[in-house]
A = this chain, B = another copy of it.
Amino acid sequence: MMRSWVESANSADCPFPLNNLPYGVFSVGDSDEGRCGVAIGEMILDLTRLEEDGHISLGEHPVFDCESWNDFMELGADIWAEFRVWLIESLGEGSEKAVTFADYLVARADATMHLPLEVMEYTDFYAGKNHAFNVGSIFRGPENALPPNWLSIPIGYNGRASSVVVSGTDVRRPLGQLKGPNDDLPRFGASQRFDLELEFGAIVGRASDDMISVQQADDAIFGYVILNDWSARDIQAWEYQPLGPFQAKATATTISPWIVTKAALEPFRTSTPERERELLPYLREPGPMSYDIALEVALAPEGKAATTISRTNYDRLYYSAAQQLCHHTTSGCPMNVGDLLGSGTISGPTKDSRGSLLELSWSGQEPVKLDTGEERSFLEDGDTLTLRANARGDGYTIGFGDCVGKVLPANDIPDWAKE
């Protein structure tokens, strides 16, 4: 562990030691204007104010005067690396900057977190093999579980960037068209099978206009967040053929507030699982491009204690974010700084490592038992979900900040939409 003059950063359990230095956007007090900051221990270093006061100068124009990290990402990987070195020096134990910079620290407990980036476009992948197999087994039986293309393509679809919200934002149960298997016709109502998906998000930090390799794709990734891809299973079941999920996934996608940089995760690099079918050359990884990051999901009914309902690891993903991004560019699709790539649900091989209630309750056949004595097949109003991620190093922890969302009851159906 690297030690900081910010004492709270030096505990082995602290999610934000000097080794981490994740990037976020926060506000304090009455102002809701977002400022760029880096988390260190229990504090946030206010980079916007440091830049205003001339302690940071990364170019001709200010970089931290906007409410996102997009401008910083635009500066490119060399500046990402240089700035991280400067931060580690400035916040390291014994730094001569301690006296001055102490005035630029804000307590995390006093801060409200905002989206750390302007999400340009949002793509969601389906890169977890256990998840794809489980979902396929539920709907089509285990013999037809995995689609024929699954072992060849990191399957993805475009999501809705406007629906991405930061941790702590309440999520309203969606309305939509619902049709049960025995119904002749659909009806319009509130989703009864509202679910979470435990995912990670990779943030694209470099634009591209043409196809890039897996290595170039890895180089283009700026950092990672935890991501909950809220999903209305009943809306999805009726709408998704033939063009994929649409309104089932458009209510909200929650991300954790801190972008953990690729640099901070470097010690935790590991390989994706062994290939079960040889990949086409363009998708082969030149080195380890996954990460060993422990993940867990906790569910708390309204006013009650939380139960951890799933524990798994990021390294279960069959396709890395770099493979996903490479594939995304094959057709010439332009990628932009601020694009967000959801990993797909990260389920492990065992029942207690499944990343969605659809899988955990096996589509409602085996409801999940909570420590409170209650059961859950899908989410109920008032439930709060907390997704956590931790990479454990030698005497230190790299945390992401919780990814939290509470389910609000559906809106009343408007009069003009009633039957």
Contact = CB atoms under 8 A, between A and B. Distances in A.
22 contacts: A147-B241, A149-B186, A149-B241, A155-B242, A155-B246, A157-B243, A158-B158, A162-B335, A163-B333, A174-B330, A174-B331, A174-B332, A176-B331, A186-B280, A188-B280, A210-B411, A211-B411, A235-B331, A244-B244, A247-B331, A250-B328, A280-B419
B250 A416 contact: no
How many copies altogether?
Answer: 2
B213 A250 contact: no
Contacts of A188: 280-282, 330
Interface string A230-241: 001001001111
A334 B162 contact: yes
Interface string A153-197: 101111111110000000010111101000001111000000000
A162 B207 CA distance: 11
A418 interface: yes
Contacts of A149: 177, 179, 186, 238-239, 241
Nearest to A163: B333
Interface string A405-417: 0000001001011
A64 to B, nearest CB: 23
B331 A248 contact: yes
Contacts of A156: 243, 246
A121 interface: yes
A311 interface: no
A41 interface: no
Nearest to A284: B416
A208 to B, nearest CB: 10
A245 interface: yes
Contact of A160 (B158, B172, B185, B235): B158
A354 to B, nearest CB: 19
A176 B282 CA distance: 10
A11 to B, nearest CB: 40
Q: Bin chain A's interface residue count.
A: 35 or more
A416 B286 CA distance: 11
The 8 nearest A-B residue pairs measured at CB: A244-B244, A250-B333, A282-B417, A158-B158, A174-B331, A247-B331, A157-B243, A162-B334
B172 A332 contact: yes
A155 B232 CA distance: 16
A353 interface: no
Contact of A155 (B155, B243, B331): B243
Nearest to A245: B243
B160 A157 contact: no
Contacts of A126: 243
Given A158-B157, A177-B153, A281 B418 contact: yes
Contacts of A280: 177, 186-188, 417, 419
A417 B155 contact: no
A242 B244 contact: yes
Contacts of A172: 332
Contact of A251 (B152, B179, B247, B333): B333
B163 A416 contact: no
B186 A152 contact: yes
A243 B241 CA distance: 8
A245 B241 CA distance: 11
A247 B211 contact: no
A359 to B, nearest CB: 16
A336 interface: yes
Contacts of A177: 149, 152-153, 280, 330
Contacts of A277: 185
Given A211-B414, A250-B328, A282-B416, 8 more contacts: A149-B177, A149-B241, A152-B179, A177-B330, A188-B281, A188-B282, A240-B242, A240-B244
Contacts of A155: 239, 242-243, 246
